Amino acid sequence: MNSDKKGRSLQPRVPMPCQPAHERVGNFDEVALGYSREDAMREASRCLQCKKPKCVKGCPVEVQIPQFIAALAKGDVESAYRTLRETNSLPAVCGRVCPQENQCEGACILGAKGQPVAIGRLERYAADTYMALDACDQLTGRPECPLIDPDLKVACIGSGPASLTVAGYLSSRGFKVTVYEALHELGGVLVYGIPEFRLPKSDIVEKEIAALRQQEVEFVTNWVGGRTFSIDDLFAEGYKAVFIGVGAGLPRFLDIPGENLVGVFSANEYLTRVNLGRAYGFPDYDTPVYRGREVTVFGGGNVAMDAARTALRLGAESVRIVYRRTRDEMPARLEELEHAEEEGVRLELLAAPLGFKGDADGRLTAVTLQRMELGEPDASGRRSPRPVEGAVYDLPTDLAVIAVGTRPNPILLEATPGLTLDRRGYIAVDEATGMTSIPGVYAGGDIVTGAATVILAMGAGRRAAKDIEARLRPAT
Amino acid sequence: MPCKILEKERLIPGQTSKLVIDAPHIAKKALPGNFVILRVCEKGERIPLTIADADPERGTITIVYLVMGKSTALLETLDAGDSILDLCGPLGKATHIEKAGTVICVGGGTGIAAMHHIAKGHHKAGNHVVAVIGARSKDLLLFYDELSSFCPEVLVSTDDGSFGHKGLVTDLLRQRLETDKTVSEVVAVGPVPMMAAVAKTTEPFGVKTTVSLNSIMVDGIGMCGACRVSVGGETRFACVDGPEFDGHKVDFNELRQRLAAFKPQEKASYDHHCKCTCAGEK
């Protein structure tokens, strides 16, 4: 076994079994298959159990990482899961979709000389295994179920990761939480955005929500904050605090000619049709989706990866991701980018869209691209792309998906006078508490930060929940 | 949560029906111009339908739909006592209504029902509302009695001349605008060609013209941009910025093309449904 001067383990991390690329492009099943018990115990034993763990600081919701990994090393899944759930309402989700390389694993001390502990994979193993033990758990008694105080009413608007975290935190401390969701299904981006092959809906998201229902969290679907009800209505109904977790929502477009041609979709629309509408099951499911042959996706983040990989699974012959910088600058998780490339997604780097072309019926036929090159570093040291003069070319395309980010959804904001926004139009909050300009009204997640990650939204939810608890039930 | 259908009236058998639905939370907030998104059953799609009427005291909303594909065919299988699985609303911006004098409300086909709610709003605000409605023939005309109950004038056109003027609603509209200079606004709800024709008719008169656009929608809350339309050269989302826009600025040709985006899939879905239903009956 290799070890460094201090005797630290330099053994590589235990690999995660995956569906082979040629098989998985033909289905919507999960790509990464998860650790076995032996894999998990072997990987857990690589953890050095640091006295001052840096990994915990790297986690936005401060999961007690060495503690849960120590339990796993002994094969004690139940106590590992309980440790996770103390601070994380959605461990099975986070273990799958967090960009761990920038968070807990990025801070792991083993990463300096070798590979960091696979914290995300272990979190996922513990959560999946515990949730599979449901029947057993019935016999051994439920995890501590607090007495819910029906007067301590808190409402969450939106049912994405931020609100689910607030609901989990407060309900486990005796608050009566109601979550209002505008769509017909719960989970926010977890159900309409992140595809099944990364995050299985019925196996993972529904189970996480079922766990919250067991804590007496109430869920109301088809209620739109700002339309079906206002925040004042909630206070009139006796809610003592309100958490706004409605996400960023509105898609950004490229603002170039031809963008409204038939066949040009926002990633939100494309993914919502496929994930929420289960359009991959059309015509058994009623929601239709375009099945492009030559697909072009714009953007370099995880959403672009999700859209490109979805298009392949819907039978596209070629899928390209157009990005105006180089592969190194792509903001997507490395694992997603690698998975996409393995599956056959091609990168069209250093290219920027100029316009879309269509036929007489207004259907997309091609996109015109401008070749870019990286210029000199600017004051911030970043090399910005600039056009290469005269290098303009067309790419045949019958389906274009635009994944260049989002902007704040105005519905609730316009209906809530007195809510202060920042200069970008997102909700302004007190950084320490998450409270907005309206007393008792909190906000967190993408509606505050702009499009970010699941775990950052959860961190914001946790912060707000702590303050709600402190205000509504001061320590006695 | 599921919402119960309290009444069903088959306005044109096999083609157009009216549902009165128990939805107090929506009825309380619904204003003229608003719409709902509904999903009939578990595997269903989300479709937008305009709120044709709302009764906050009774806690009901009224919707009127034309059976034109799978989802509306599924809706047509439901009866009073059944429930709609998902009903979400009220959505969209409400009609801008102020006391302005004479307002002409033009409705075509199923759009007459949607127009009815807007006309009622203008009537309540104290405007002199002239309803102009059209259909292919007399038996396909909707909401004549309802409109007559509060509109001092209801002008009718039919393609075959079986009732009222023989011809198009735009003929009646043009005649009116030529003789009546007090018209402050024209509102049109109906098929895209009709709304485009109304906008074209009013343009030379310089009369403010509002159209309620019926673009394809998925979520109806601004998340996706499926419903985007070009208005005055700018992209707007019909579900949050509309559905009502200045008819003189709307790119109707683009709207028509975008509405046809899923025609082959819509047909496939409907055929699939018919096959399954028939197989089920055997």
CATH of the domain at B124: 3.40.50.80
Higher pLDDT, B1 or A388: A388
Residue A447: pLDDT band with limits 50, 70, 90? very high
Q: In the prediction, which pLDDT does A453 show?
A: 87
pLDDT at site A138? 41
Is-contact A268 A284, C-beta < 8 A?
no
Whether A409 contacts chain B with CB within 8 A: yes
Confidence (pLDDT) at A139 = 40
pLDDT of residue B273: 80
For chain A, what is the mean pLDDT? 91
* A451-461 average pLDDT score: 90
CA dihedral A212, A216, A220, A224 (to 10 degrees): -70
User: Does the pTM exceed 0.95?
Assistant: no
Q: Which residues of B touch A409 (CB under 8 A)?
A: 221-223, 240
CB contact under 8 A, B1 and A222: yes
Q: How far is B32 from chain A (nearest CA, A)?
A: 14
Inside any domain, residue B274: no
Has residue B115 been placed in a domain?
Answer: yes
In a domain, B281, yes or no: no
Q: Are B198 and B106 in contact (CB under 8 A)?
A: yes
For the segment B233-260, the average pLDDT, to the nearest whole number, is 96
Residues of B in contact with A183 (CB under 8 A): 88, 219, 221
Residue B266 counted as domain residue: no
- Give which of A222, A271, A303, A409 to mutate to test B binding, by max B Cβ within 10 Å: A222
Please indicate, yes or no, whether residues B103 and B156 belong to a single structural domain of this protein.
yes
Residue A69, H or E segment: helix A65-73
Among B89, B110, B131, the domain-final residue is B89
At A141, the pLDDT band (50, 70, 90 cuts) reads very low
Judgement on whether residues B44 and B137 belong to the same structural domain of the protein: no
- How confident is residue A6, by pLDDT bands cut at 50, 70 and 90? low
User: A207 versus A236: which is more confidently predicted?
Assistant: A236
DSSP state at residue A12 = P
- Judge if B21 and B110 occupy the same domain: no
- Of A5-19, A195-209, A221-235, B91-105, least confident by mean pLDDT is A5-19
Q: Do A222 and B43 touch (CB under 8 A)?
A: no
Co-location of B177 and B106 in the same domain: yes
How confident is the model at residue A175, as a pLDDT? 94
Q: Is A220 on the interface with B (CB under 8 A)?
A: yes
What distance in Å separates the CA atoms of residue A244 and residue A435, rounded to the nearest whole number?
10
**Of the candidate ranges A4-18, A111-125, B43-57, B113-127, the one whose mean pLDDT is the lowest:** A4-18
**Separation between Cα atoms, residue A418 and residue A416, nearest integer Å:** 6
Backbone φ and ψ of B143, nearest 5°: 55, 25
Q: What six digits make up the tokens of A90? A: 């959605």
Candidates A294, A267, A263; CA nearest to A394 is A294
Cβ–Cβ below 8 Å for A228 and B89? yes
Residue B171 lies in a domain: yes
Predicted local confidence at residue A475, as pLDDT:
64
pLDDT at A5: 56
Residue A19's pLDDT band, with cuts at 50, 70 and 90, is very high
CA A382 to chain centre: 27
Rg over alpha carbons for chain B, rounded to the nearest Å, is 18
- Is residue B272 pLDDT above 90, yes or no? no
Provide the shortest C-alpha distance from residue A430 to chain B (in Å).
26
Cβ–Cβ < 8 Å for B238, B254: no
Residue A15 neighbours by CB distance under 10 Å = 11
Separation in Å, CA of A275 to nearest CA in chain B: 12
Q: Quick check: A411 and B240 CB within 8 A?
A: yes
Answer for the pair A287, B217: CB distance below 8 angstroms, yes or no: no
| Percentage, residues of chain B above pLDDT 70 | 98
Q: How many residues would you count in chain A?
A: 476
User: How many CB pairs lie under 8 A apart between chains A and B?
Assistant: 129
Within 8 A of A287 by CB-CB distance, chain B residues are 45-46, 218
Out of A183, A249, A361, name the one closest to residue B222 (CB).
A249
CA separation, residue A320 to residues A346, B76, B269 (Å): 5, 43, 29
| pLDDT band (50, 70, 90) for residue A54 | very high
Distance from CA of A286 to the nearest CA of B (A): 5
Total domain count, chain B:
3
Q: What is the pLDDT of residues B15-27, one digit of tens each?
A: 999 999 999 999 9
- Mean pLDDT throughout A113-136? 84
Q: Is the pLDDT of residue A60 over 70?
A: yes
* H or E stretch at A292: none
Q: Which residues of B touch A260 (CB under 8 A)?
A: 228-230, 235, 254, 258
Task: Please report which helix (H) or strand (E) contains residue A180, including its range.
Answer: strand A175-180
Specify the pLDDT at position B268. Answer: 86
Are B35 and B114 in a shared domain?
no
Residue A382 confidence (pLDDT): 77
Q: Find the CB nearest A224 among B221, B228, B235.
A: B221
CB contact A287 to B (< 8 Å) = yes
Of B46, B64, B89, the one marking the end of a domain is B89
Please tell me if residue A286 touches chain B, with a CB cutoff of 8 Å.
yes
Query: What is the separation, in whole angstroms, between the first and last Cα of chain A?
Result: 54
CA distances (Å), origin A374, targets A297, A326, A351, A367, A387: 21, 9, 11, 22, 9
Same domain, B106 and B128: yes
Q: Does A148 touch chain B (CB under 8 A)?
A: no
For residue A112, pLDDT beyond 60: yes
Report residue A4's pLDDT band, with 50, 70 and 90 as the boundaries. low
Q: How many CB atoms lie within 10 A of CB A146?
A: 12
Contact A165, A461 (CB under 8 A): yes
Gap between the Cα atoms of A85 and B190, Å rounded = 54
Q: Is the pLDDT of residue B282 over 50?
A: no
**pLDDT at residue number A379:** 80
Q: Rounded mean pLDDT of A133-138?
A: 48
CATH code (residue B19): 2.40.30.10
Q: Does A233 touch chain B (CB under 8 A)?
A: no
Sheet containing strand A264-266, edge to edge, reads A264-266, A399-402, A294-298, A318-323, A346-349
The whole-chain average pLDDT of chain B stands at 93
What is the predicted pLDDT for the residue at A146?
A: 66
Identify residue A167 by its one-letter amino acid code: A
pLDDT of residue B214: 92
Q: How confident is the model at residue B271 (pLDDT cuts 50, 70, 90)?
A: confident
Read off the tokens for B93: 């911006």
The token pair at A380 is 């911030």
Q: Give the domain-ending residue among B89, B121, B138.
A: B89
Q: Which has more pLDDT, B109 or A10? A: B109
Tens digit of pLDDT for each residue in A239-290? 999 999 999 879 999 999 999 999 999 999 999 999 999 999 998 999 999 9
Q: Which of A224, A263, A362 sits opposite B88 (nearest CB)?
A: A224
**pLDDT by residue (tens digit) across B188-218?**
999 999 999 999 999 999 999 999 999 999 9
Give the separation between CA A316 and CA A297, rounded to whole angstroms: 12
Are B118 and B143 in a shared domain? yes
Contacts of B265 in chain A (CB under 8 A): 282-283, 288-289
Q: In whole angstroms, what is the distance from residue B44 CA to residue A284 CA?
A: 9
Per-residue pLDDT of B137-170, as tens digits, reads 998 899 999 999 999 999 999 999 999 999 999 9
Q: Note the helical H segments in A222-368.
A: 231-236, 267-271, 302-313, 334-343
Answer yes or no: is B230 within a domain: yes
> How far is CA A301 from its chain centroid?
12
Q: 10 Å Cβ neighbour count for A115?
A: 16
Closest CA to B62 of B9, B141, B104: B9
Residue A455 · residue A103 · CB < 8 Å? yes
Residues of chain B contacting A227 with CB distance shorter than 8 Å: 29, 89-91, 221
The pLDDT value recorded for residue A140 is 42
Q: Report the pLDDT value the prediction gives residue A134, as an integer from 0 to 100.
A: 53
Contact A298, A400 (CB under 8 A): yes
Q: How confident is residue A130, by pLDDT bands cut at 50, 70 and 90?
A: confident
State how far residue B258 is from chain A, nearest Cα, in angstroms. Answer: 6
Same domain (yes/no): B100, B76: no
Task: Count CA within 13 A, CB hemisphere, residue A283.
Answer: 17
The yes-or-no verdict on residue B280 having pLDDT over 70 is no
**B interface mutation test: which of A184, A284, A414 has the most B CBs within 10 A?**
A184
Smallest Cβ–Cβ distance between A262 and the set B29, B224, B258 belongs to B258
Model confidence at A144, pLDDT cuts 50, 70, 90, reads low
b (16+ CB within 10 A) / e for B210-225: bbbbbbbbbbbbbbbb
Subunit contact B71:A260, Cβ cutoff 8 A: no
Asked if residue B270 belongs to a domain, the reply is no
Residues B104 and B207 in one domain: yes
- Could you tell me if B132 and B232 lie in one domain? no
Whether B131 is covered by a domain: the verdict is yes
* Chain B environment of A272 (Cβ under 8 Å): 218-219, 223-224
CB contact under 8 A, A282 and B87: no
Contacts (Cβ under 8 Å, ≥6 apart) of B170 = B194, B197, B198, B200, B201
Q: Do A272 and B240 touch (CB under 8 A)?
A: no
What does the pLDDT read at residue B278? 59
Q: Which has the closest alpha carbon to B50: B262, B243, B246, B256?
A: B243
3-state secondary structure chain B: CCEEEEEEEEEECCCEEEEEEECHHHHCCCCCCCEEEEECCCCCCCEEEEEEEEECCCCEEEEEEECCCHHHHHHHCCCCCCEECEEEEEECCCCCCCCCCEEEEEEECCHHHHHHHHHHHHHHCCCEEEEEEEECCHHHCCCHHHHHCCCCEEEEEECCCCCCEECCHHHHHHHHHHHCCCEEEEEEECCHHHHHHHHHHHHHHCCEEEEECCCCCCCCCCCCCCCEEEECCEEEEHHHHCCEEECCCECHHHHHHHHCCCHHHHHHHHHHHHHHHHHHHC
Q: Write out pLDDT tens, residues A402-417.
A: 999 999 988 999 999 9
Domain that holds residue B139: 94-211
Q: In the numeric block, which tokens belong to residue B225? A: 């941009």
Chain B residues with beta carbon closer than 8 angstroms to that of A285: 43, 45
End-to-end Cα spacing for chain B: 33
Rounded-to-integer distance, Cα A266 and Cα B184, Å: 38
User: What does each C-alpha distance from A319 to A212, A254, A291, B245 come to in angstroms?
Assistant: 39, 19, 12, 37
- On the question of pLDDT at B281 being above 50, the answer is no
Are residue B98 and residue B194 in the same domain, yes or no?
yes
Query: Is the pLDDT confidence value at A347 over 50?
Result: yes
